[in-house]
Amino acid sequence: MRFGVIASVLLHLAIVGAGFLAPNFINLPDVAPEPYVPLDLIREAELDLKTSVPAASPEPIVEEEPEPDLPEPAVEEQPAPAEEQAAEALPEPEPEPAPAEPEPAPVKPEPEVKPEPPKETPKPPVKKPEPKNDELDLDALSQLIDKERAKETPQTPSQTPSQTTEQADRARAAVGAGDRLTASDKAKMAAAIARCYNTSSLIGAPNPETLLVVLQFELNRDGTLMSQPRVANSMQINFSNNRFWKVAEQASVRAVVACQPYNFLDPGRYEDWKEFEVGMRPME
């Protein structure tokens, strides 16, 4: 009887587990093999930092900010796509120049602060007299990082304060990196697709603003499509029997396929822009 109970429970769990695993198999796209990609060697210490950062973290603090929480990458890109930034994220340009200068300043005081982590930690991070909130939080982050390191590896003082600082800076850059693409890159992508999005066949169609087509696709590192874009709401379109919606679907797929390669995105941040979901309407 016991064997029976155990076997029954195992089988139930197997079925439930298969329920979790099966959708993953269904989602696999037909993928052409990706071209050879050079590997970056990551030092073990950095790997530690990269993986421990989210655990430490203030993911909530990062989320609250508007775009200015990525001061370093955004500042570099700003001179080039001035026009796209004008259209989107208007608040962004104003805060950017400001942190540009004070940014180096808080970094420098770190070395002095670092050697006394045990003393700093009781203070709430918000007390720091900084002009902008984003820098504050990153400092708090780096403090937390160092606190963790101090706690976890007290026996390896091989890390001098300056090395710790470097790694802390890299970690700070890594903090926002996995989360999202900048607004200017998104705008560039939208403009690129819209250029090929020909809606002349829908001139005069009734209610064009309701003809939403949602496409999902993945890009290779060189900006070409990995495979044909998938229409996420294709069942809805087919069931509606709306011919104009079907025409809009064809026009949307054509637009995405025709305008490749999308090779203006930073290949170093490939993981950020590998997958897209685009909602396309012929009219507002």
What is the binding site for other proteins (CB under 8 A)? Answer: 2, 6, 9-10, 13-14, 16-17, 20-21, 24, 178-181, 186, 189-190, 193-195, 197-206, 216, 228, 242-244, 246-247, 250-251, 253-255, 257-258, 271-284
253 is written with which tokens? 């797929």
Cβ at position 225, least distance to other proteins in Å = 11
The identity of residue 241, as a single letter, is N
Residue 116 near residue 52, CB atoms below 8 Å: no
- In the complex with other proteins, the residue whose CB is nearer, 14 or 82, is 14
- State which residue, 17 or 267, has the beta carbon closest to other proteins: 17
Least distance to other proteins from the beta carbon of 200, Å?
A: 5
Q: CB 1 → other proteins: shortest distance, Å?
A: 12
Per DSSP, the three-state class of 50 is helix
Task: In whole angstroms, give the CA distance from residue 244 to residue 222.
Answer: 34
Q: How far apart are alpha carbons 60 and 124 in whole angstroms?
A: 16
User: With respect to other proteins, which residue has the nearer C-beta, 20 or 156?
Assistant: 20
Which of 49, 3, 18, 12 has its CA nearest to residue 165? Answer: 49
What SS3 class is residue 215?
strand
Structure tokens at 24: 């993953």
Nearer to other proteins, 107 or 181 (CB): 181
The residue (of 21 and 235) whose beta carbon lies closer to other proteins is: 21
User: What is the closest distance, in whole angstroms, from the C-beta atom of residue 129 to other proteins in the complex?
Assistant: 35
Residue 209 Cβ vs other proteins, minimum distance, rounded to whole Å: 8
Neighbour tally for 140: CB within 10 Å:
19
